[in-house]
Amino acid sequence: MLDIKFLSPNAKVEDFTLLEKCSDGNFTVGKNSVNAIYQTKDKKVEFIYFDDHILAYVNSAMGYPAYYPIRPTRLEKPVQAVLMDLDGTSVKSEEFWIWMIEQTTASLLNNKNFQLEESDIPYVSGHSVSEHLEYCIRKYCPDKTVEEARQFYFMHTRREMNAIVEGHGRKNAFVPTEGLKAFLLELKAMKIKIGLVTSGLYEKAWPEILSAFQTLKMGDPKDFYDAVVTAGFPIKAGHPGTLGELSPKPHPWLYSETARVGLGIPREMSHRVIGIEDSGAGICSIRLAGFSAIGIAEGNIVESGVQGLCAGYCRSLEEVLKYLK
């Protein structure tokens, strides 16, 4: 029987909620060789333990869950690539995007004084826009639809992004993480490939990193990063969109595509890739993609119950460097 530490050397049983049955009802402990089912605290991922393998069940607020096989991970040096999350890891912007979700919900309720509760935060950060909105609809306005919410969301987002570009938007919406410039330049000096990975749509993500690079006087991000992968472009009437809303973190695809397609690193070299995240969904995404994960404090990793999936948990980017050298 596989041990809990197959997930990660730091994983502990008490980090998870033990289930008798998978959320979709397909697997039950004690039947069909199922030994245990562990659910993350944020209920986004369930790990189903069999005698000789593990499946990860990724839930979906949009009705499209998926199963993934869990492969063992290890980290060997020299590290070939670092995959970095954007919001919360590279740029401090979570408060801004949570505010956008709050503004959208306020519009749905026609209540300009609406405010999210502290308990909502793990569910309105780290996932896709549609999942954030689906959560708020279920809790606050079940008579509304995600489609209605998305119209308000993009209306608010485009207004605020234009205001920021014009110089009169929300102050300090996108602030580079402390030590980001020194960290990125050190990776370059070590000849480590760098991939930027975000569940955010391109129209959200690109102004963020561009703003950060302008603040740091680092030039054009396109000339610096070896690969940038976002959730693409939103689907809307009269315009082509791209896949992203149903396959965000904690699904593995953003990280898998950045490494394999963006950086050209084959799967058999996964042990020389490391991912850096501040969200529980992001940590699960890295782990499901088959890479070692380093957690950054100040996100929702602890609250999501996935700190044990991290090969390391750091307070700063400077501290991350010890895992790379």
Residues 163-216 have pLDDT tens digits of 887 777 787 888 999 999 999 999 999 999 999 999 988 888 888 898 899 899
What is the reported pLDDT for 67? 98
Mean pLDDT, to the nearest integer, of 266-295? 97
What is the reported pLDDT for 22? 97
What is the reported pLDDT for 146? 94
Query: Binning pLDDT at 50, 70 and 90, where does residue 234 land?
Result: confident
CATH class in words for 81-93+176-323:
alpha beta
DSSP H or E segment with residue 68: strand 66-69
What is the reported pLDDT for 61? 80
Cis peptide preceding 78, ω within 30 of 0: yes
The Cα 213–Cα 34 span in angstroms is 49
Which ranges in 141-226 belong to alpha helices (H)?
146-166, 180-189, 202-216, 221-224
Residues 8-65 pLDDT 10s: 889 999 999 999 999 999 999 999 999 999 999 999 999 999 999 999 999 988 889 9
What is the reported pLDDT for 251? 96
Contact (CB, 8 A) for 300 and 121: yes
Tell me which amino acid residue 17 is. Answer: T
The Cα 56–Cα 37 span in angstroms is 10
What is the reported pLDDT for 242? 84
Residue ranges covered by each domain of the chain: 4-69, 81-93+176-323, 94-166
Average pLDDT, the chain: 93
Residues above pLDDT 90, as percent of the chain: 74
The model carries a pTM of 0.87
Which residues are within 8 A (CB) of 54 and not within 5 positions of it... i.e. 6 or more apart?
A: 2, 6, 7, 47, 48, 69, 70
Q: Any idea which residue has 């993350």 for tokens?
A: 40
Contact (CB, 8 A) for 197 and 83: yes
Question: Can you read off the two tokens belonging to residue 300?
Answer: 């929702």
Which one, of 305, 36, 82, 43, lies nearest residue 186 by Cα?
82
Residues 76-96 pLDDT 10s: 999 999 999 999 999 998 889
Tell me which amino acid residue 6 is. Answer: F
Which one, of 97, 95, 41, lies nearest residue 298 by Cα?
95
